[in-house]
Amino acid sequence: MSFSFEILHKSSDTGARLGKMHTGHGDVETPAFIPVGTQATVKSLTPEELGELGVQIILANTYHLYLRPGHDVIARLGGLHPFMHWDGPILTDSGGYQVFSLSKLREISAEGVTFQSHLDGSKHLLTPEKAIEIQEALGSDIMMCLDECTPYPATHTESLESLELSTDWARRCKERHEPGRGALFGIVQGGMFQDLRAQAAEALIDIGFDGYALGGLSVGEPKELMIGVSAATLPLLPDSLPRYVMGVGTSEELVKLVALGTDMFDCVIPTRNARNGQLFVRGGSINICNAQHRDDQGPVEAGCPCYTCRHYSRAYLRHLFMAKELLAYRLNTIHNIHHFMTLMREMREAIRQERFDQFKKDFFSARR
């Protein structure tokens, strides 16, 4: 599958970029937000609904699909695209973060990471080569190198050891990756230390990847620190290739990071928070559980054209949520995905029209 990236326009008053990724399953306009479809599904929505909401690309998880139903099963069935009935681009993460966050027992070595399945307790060894094998079997359009997600807080020494391991694993991923089997992105680690981030970026650029991501962020550090690390690291990455900040996703973070030149994001916030009753609106969010919505006949957001807002009141959505009806999760998720897709589309248009700086000012003014 071919892959390329082009920059269509650069903002003259910020670092924001308008671009387009070309993949074997279609183009992706950037900046782009990638909804998380961990187990080959964005929870509660069909692929057709995702397309109608303006979703261009989704993320699926290597760890979960390796354990269930198995990458070999998916490969025999033609790959992830026909398996889940999604004909657009798919990005798969390496599974490294899930190994470190979900596994009851794990042992890290130069070879890889031995972990215990959170499903049945069985033991597995995930190596860089295995991570690429799994992702190629899934038929990913964009694959991620196996890395160790450096925890927060971590000392300089701990962060250095972690990034050296991740850099070695990245080199082995590149050697195992078959050209033409999808793009491969490197992941910059280094904790919260800028000298280590710079070291990691330089090493990955020397290896050579189709795009570069910032990993190890949104792991418990203050938001200001995350933005600061991103601001210092993003300019070190190749200007001509996609820049991806992983696991980040509040509206405020997206706007700040787009202004710094980020092209791609993924996060569970719009979907997970929808299932917890948080609905995003211009200027912030509402909690549909609150009693103030019990008799409210208005939509989640006045003027919102999404399916949920066109047909259902806050009162009904609150009733569904309090009753734990499955429809609540679907309708809430539809609205939140629409909100995030609208935000990204408006940012792309603002960059195109050379008014992104004003867009950013207006965005944060509405929140004040």
Report, as residue numbers or ranges, the catalytic residues: 93, 266
Half-sphere exposure of 221 (CA within 13 A, CB side): 23
Helix, coil or strand: residue 84:
helix
Cβ 75 vs Cβ 134: under 8 Å:
no
* Number of C-beta neighbours around residue 179 at 10 A: 6
The CA distance from 332 to 343, in Å, is: 17
The CA distance from 368 to 362, in Å, is: 10
Strand partners, 20: 6, 29
**Residues 67-97: b if buried by 16+ CB within 10 A, e if exposed:** beeebeebbeeebbbebbebebbbbbbbbbb
Neighbouring residues of 185: CB distance < 8 A, sequence distance ≥ 6: 142, 143, 144, 145, 209, 210, 211, 212, 213, 242, 244
Q: C-alpha distances in angstroms, 163 versus 148, 158, 198, 201, 294?
A: 8, 9, 11, 10, 51
The CA distance from 134 to 37, in Å, is: 17
Cβ 234 vs Cβ 226: under 8 Å:
no
